[in-house]
Structure 1
């Protein structure tokens, strides 16, 4: 066994079906009594459901969480937190809402309870991305790691199949980057492979609905568990080229987060494969395929996910600028980040070409 360093993240995880009913108990366990509930405009209904469960323990509902965590929205949310004298932040939703909760915690150091409704995985990481003046930047600090995560499988049952696919592939991206991280270790490797396997074997059933209610509940449960495992492994490590490109395309060109991950992942795997053969072989094995890049591409495409940046609205003339930004302040990565090769990667992703 090679020497390694493993940092366990200090978070409480509650997983099951119907677990959101425990929100008041968990809030009081933290010694809090004045929670502000966060949602996006589209998740107001779920936020009001949590507000009802909290009763007098909730002091307000903030519904302006936005993709890529723009700083001006955080400014407004922090003002609301201060006006309400909230002592806890409760995020109900996907990556946009969870990102806002983290941004508030970064500024105020308030404890967080997160109730994820997608497979984004941000809830399990000490990483925050924020966008200001068209540039998305990230930082890693335990200040933004939520204290409590409540996974309620029931809240994912209404997630549309297409959104489920892109959100789940986003989760797989966390595991892939963990496997070839410069800080990779055997514990994270196990989590990464378990997460990829759990998602890949169960995701098709979410789209097809095969087997009916009980089978769908099991598939949703397995994908949510897999997403948590994937997030846990990257949360203790770092990010590489894939996340750098996604942050560039999201922060500067406002492309949708999960869909961008889904389109790019096959191409970033192919880019790194010659420089991280053992890691990529583990990805392929976990997917049950021979070629990892093609396996991810085929899985997502067959399940109805977008497979080109062109579909997502990126203009071809913006590819050069995206390559330039991605090459600046690069994250550590197995393969050297060469501007011409990055541009080719982006061109292939823009056109939706199946990777070699």
Structure 2
């Protein structure tokens, strides 16, 4: 008999290509906010200024750092308190959304997210903070943005290589959701549709970076991926990448893009039903065949050594990852096969 419990997060989602400024003002109006803190890194300053032009902005905060160091989060929290803000608006990718979540975690302030990448953090109640070499993650309903404004036009300025890495990060949410600790049939359905949309949209982004159809498909797929991941929880792939990112300061999206096929190669044979659904979403005979064909088509990131991970760090990474491997992972994870997985990802070998 089929038995499962599925929890759907309460969140408004607004898809409106070309209308971020108008829709964001409407969302802030629904909150009744009168003193808004806008969080956006320097590279997103112009976009943030444009889409928040109609808001009652009390503070603009631009200290955005990858993996959200605790000290950075504390400074943002203090700024929010000092300016007596009553709502947070994040304009940017996962690091910006993560900073807004860190502020919401301790203040309870509502967040409205305006994503400019396919990171997906805006659709989850997952937060992450880094202190020293350790990245700690958790879930809390306070950090889930009250609403998200998706405007595919804001993605047009995202370079193709970053679009590919960010899109494959979203794809990793889908794959991990197939066998994560809390996965259920609804998560699997969302993840499969997310894979289909991303596999259709990302090649269009590469072929026509200035066109909206590919950007809209990828953004739709990234949202579905994040919703599936939020419900299913962190699987092996995300546990590995969180360790690599926090411990060795590796860039988030490229790390996910590199590691994903190696985790799929390990888990796929041990999870035949999930493997079948992933393959069907790609329209290929096997899941790994579909993923590798897409990665080749996109000229995706291949090797962790290209992003600062050193060969001599592999044994240390194995020791750090093993304690956080989910008990429900379909394949048995051992020191030996984990070391082989990380070595293959480091050198950019063909996943097997």
Q: 2:109 matched to 1:110?
A: yes
Contact 2:11 2:146 in 1 (8 A): yes
Deviation at 1:245, TM superposition (A): 0.8
Q: CA RMSD in A?
A: 1.4
- How many Å separate the matches in 1 of 2:49 and 2:16? 21
> 1:209-247: CA deviations, max 9, x gaps?
29xx6xx21111111001000100111121111001100
Give the counterpart of 2:337 among 329, 341, 353: 341
- How many Å separate the matches in 1 of 2:218 and 2:246? 27
Deviation at 1:51, TM superposition (A): 3.3
Alignment partner, residue 242 of structure 2: 247
- How many Å separate the matches in 1 of 2:230 and 2:9? 8
Structure 1 runs of 4+ aligned residues shifted over 3 Å read: none
1:1-356 to 2 correspondence within 5 Å? Answer: 2-20=2-20, 21-54=22-55, 57-209=56-208, 216-332=211-327, 333-356=329-352
Deviation at 1:294, TM superposition (A): 3.9
- How many Å separate the matches in 2 of 1:284 and 1:12? 31
Secondary structure (helix, strand or coil) at the match of 1:80 reads: helix
Contact 2:40 2:62 in 1 (8 A): yes
Contact 1:263 1:349 in 2 (8 A): yes
- How many Å separate the matches in 1 of 2:19 and 2:193? 23
Contact 1:166 1:300 in 2 (8 A): no
- How many Å separate the matches in 2 of 1:326 and 1:290? 31
- How many Å separate the matches in 2 of 1:232 and 1:322? 29
Compare 325-334 and 63-72 and name the one that shifted more: 325-334
> 1:293-338: CA deviations, max 9, x gaps?
2432342243122111111121100011011100123334222221
TM-score scaled to structure 2, two decimals? Answer: 0.96
Structure 1 gaps, min length 5: none
TM-score scaled to structure 1, two decimals? Answer: 0.95
Contact 2:24 2:52 in 1 (8 A): no
> 1:245-302: CA deviations, max 9, x gaps?
1001100100000000000000011111122111022111111222322432342243
Structure 2 gaps, min length 5: none
